């Protein structure tokens, strides 16, 4: 039995899909292979549970000795499992092979491999994870249900950040497919505002599992209502035709650009800026973003400018190696500044707001989210209170790794300098 085949098999077992991809390799190293003939007992009622048993090939029947009703018969097939009790427990049913049966047994002494401290990393402790990895960590409640949180040290908004919805929902979807399939597209719809103080429940529907593609839909719920939906498609990596006509724009390298912290320091000390503005900047507490950003050009929310913008970004800190995590981090970061570019030509004399309505992404090539990526944003049109933006992300080699679109609600909040009101 080939080791890689065992890893791929384990990745198809729903119970194991929520584990870090590295855990599948560790489990593959220690599972034992057992064969049974048709009619042979695989497990007997009252016998100790020796380990967690996965059906590799064949079919088995589960029967409850205390209830002989044929209507309660249960059949097990490939990728099904039993014996998921605690160490020292006994079987409560009989399991009998209905055909030649091959099983993989994870002995009880290795059950710790089923309980990593993170869905992304089986080796490190959470204290060593970056902030964005903390944000994208979900608590598995069932094979298709996950719970997400807004950590207290995450950037504060009046509502849940749209990128958090996208990243966490994608994390939930990613943890229901095998690790050999990679996300290639997602389409998200924002329905209601999210509450930062309440956990978010992510319910995944396994729409399709094919040999090369898998499809998942995710509903995010708070207070009993669906507030966000996502559909994601995953593909097994394969060779194919390649071309790229999109060219990366000429921009300064990220190492030559100021960080957000350095920009704030400059705004507080620049004598050319009004004192009132400098005092206002200094009075605001600066909370470092989980994503490090370097603007390629001047950006202002109070001045008119062209409907386009470029910036470099990467995760703060080192991320775990799980490729699904890096896609989730890019999805999280993709909602930063994106919608607001559609407001650039309309900012003169007003304060305006942009609210994401829907969001689509296509992942063309692998990427590392803790290395610099260039985000190129354009807004070709706005109409009817809605702005439309497109985006492209390039790696340092100039390869197009992600394409994006988003529609958003845009509106004027108030005039920048309202005339004084009469007191009469």
Helix (H, G, I), strand (E, B) or coil at 251: coil
Both tokens of residue 398? 């100039």
Please tell me which residue in 335, 340, 342, 379 is annotated as part of the active site: 335
Euclidean distance between CA atoms 140 and 138, whole angstroms: 6
Please tell me which residue in 17, 356, 370, 379 is annotated as part of the active site: 356
DSSP one-letter code for 421: P
Torsion angle, alpha carbons of 227, 231, 236, 237, to 10: -80
Euclidean distance between CA atoms 262 and 286, whole angstroms: 11
Euclidean distance between CA atoms 13 and 177, whole angstroms: 9
Euclidean distance between CA atoms 384 and 407, whole angstroms: 12
Contact 199, 146 (CB under 8 A): no
Residue 209 bridge partners (DSSP): 214
Contact 402, 377 (CB under 8 A): no
Euclidean distance between CA atoms 353 and 393, whole angstroms: 24
Please tell me which residue in 168, 174, 340, 406 is annotated as part of the active site: 406
- Classify burial at 81, counting beta carbons within 10 Å of its beta carbon; exposed 0-12, middle 13-18, buried 19 or more: middle
CA distances from 352 to 157, 386, 406 (A): 16, 12, 18
> Sign of torsion, CA 67 68 73 76?
positive
Active site residue 66: no
Helix (H, G, I), strand (E, B) or coil at 176: coil
Among residues 225, 178, 145, which one has the least CA distance to residue 14? 178
Euclidean distance between CA atoms 278 and 123, whole angstroms: 46
Euclidean distance between CA atoms 171 and 120, whole angstroms: 10
Euclidean distance between CA atoms 326 and 370, whole angstroms: 8
Active site residue 356: yes
Active site residues: 335, 356, 406
């Amino acid at each position: 039995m080939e080791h890689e085949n065992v890893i791929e098999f384990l990745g198809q077992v729903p119970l194991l899909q929520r584990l870090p991809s590295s855990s599948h390799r560790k489990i593959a190293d220690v599972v034992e292979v057992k064969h049974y003939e048709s009619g042979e007992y695989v497990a007997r009622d009252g016998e100790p549970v020796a380990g967690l048993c996965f059906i590799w090939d064949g079919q088995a029947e589960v029967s409850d000795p205390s209830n002989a009703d044929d209507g309660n018969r249960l059949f097990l097939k490939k990728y099904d499992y039993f014996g998921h009790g605690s160490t020292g427990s006994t079987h409560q049913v009989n399991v009998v092979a209905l055909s030649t049966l091959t099983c993989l047994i994870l002995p009880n002494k290795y059950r710790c491999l089923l309980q990593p401290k993170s869905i992304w990393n089986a080796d490190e402790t959470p204290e060593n994870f970056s902030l964005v990895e903390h944000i994208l960590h979900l608590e598995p409640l069932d094979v298709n249900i996950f719970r997400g949180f807004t950590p207290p040290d995450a950037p504060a908004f009046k509502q849940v950040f749209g990128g958090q919805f996208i990243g966490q929902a994608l994390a939930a979807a990613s943890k229901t497919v095998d690790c050999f399939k990679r996300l290639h597209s997602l389409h998200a719809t924002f329905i209601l505002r999210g509450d930062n103080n309440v956990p978010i429940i992510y319910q995944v529907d396994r729409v399709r599992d094919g040999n090369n593609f898998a499809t998942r839909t995710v509903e995010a719920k708070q207070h009993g209502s669906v507030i966000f939906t996502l559909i994601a498609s995953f593909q097994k990596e394969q060779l194919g035709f390649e071309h790229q006509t999109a060219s990366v724009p000429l921009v300064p390298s990220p190492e030559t650009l100021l960080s957000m912290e350095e920009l704030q320091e400059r705004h507080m000390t620049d004598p050319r800026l009004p004192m009132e503005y400098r005092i206002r900047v200094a009075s605001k507490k600066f909370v470092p973003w989980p994503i490090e950003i370097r603007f390629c050009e001047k950006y202002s929310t109070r001045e008119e400018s062209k409907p386009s913008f470029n910036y470099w970004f990467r995760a703060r800190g080192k991320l775990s190696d799980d490729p699904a995590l890096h896609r989730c981090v890019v999805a999280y970061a993709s909602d930063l500044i994106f919608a607001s570019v559609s407001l650039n030509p309309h900012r003169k004399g007003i304060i305006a707001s942009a609210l994401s309505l829907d969001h689509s992404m296509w992942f063309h090539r692998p990427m590392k989210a803790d290395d610099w990526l260039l985000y190129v944003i354009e807004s070709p049109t706005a109409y009817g209170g809605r702005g439309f933006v497109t985006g492209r992300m390039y790696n340092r080699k100039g390869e197009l790794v992600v394409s994006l679109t988003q529609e958003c609600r845009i509106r004027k909040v108030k005039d920048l300098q309202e005339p004084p009101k009469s007191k009469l």
